[in-house]
Amino acid sequence: VVNIDAAGTKSSFTVPEQLVATIDNNTKQMEIMRNGVVEQTFPVSMGKPGYDTKNGTYYVLEKFDTIVMDSSTYGVPVDDPSGEGYKLKVKDAVRIDNSGIFVHGAPWSEGSQGESNVSHGCINLSAENAAWFRKNFGSGDAV
């Protein structure tokens, strides 16, 4: 709680907890710190070559229980002969960038999480870890 007394006008407000996720692409691990203390470490898979997840700081923009992800929204037809097209329902999706990068549950990539990057740019988590992430992270939290 922060208390302010400015020229006799008093006010107070509560500062929310600080929640930050940091991802190391070398180890393929997401470290989550709450108020400066490591709370969780999750294996991840990020963008494969050609679909690399860009380095930088992202912020939680919005959250979805379920969302349909469609490769045609960034120019790859669903029926692309390369096999790179997709249209599927994804659970526990957290948008961190307006270009379409999400942290989300990806049960199909659990065998690669912590080992290799296989996504189209999103940050893949196990179903259980994605549910935890969506529940705990809120608007403006840093990734």
Select which of 60, 103, 122, 130 is catalytic: 122
Q: What does DSSP assign to residue 48?
A: P
Fold designation for 44-142: L,D-transpeptidase catalytic domain-like (2.40.440)
Alpha helix (H) residue ranges in the chain: 127-136
Question: 95 an active-site residue?
Answer: no
Question: 120 an active-site residue?
Answer: no
Select which of 104, 109, 120, 123 is catalytic: 104
Q: What's the rounded Cα separation, in Å, for the pair 59 and 126?
A: 20
Strands (E), 37-95: 37-43, 62-70, 87-95
Q: What's the rounded Cα separation, in Å, for the pair 86 and 92?
A: 18
- pTM (2 d.p.): 0.85
**pLDDT per position as a tens digit, 57-104:** 999 999 999 999 998 888 888 998 988 889 999 999 999 999 889 999
**pLDDT per position as a tens digit, 74-84:** 888 899 898 88
Q: What does DSSP assign to residue 25?
A: T
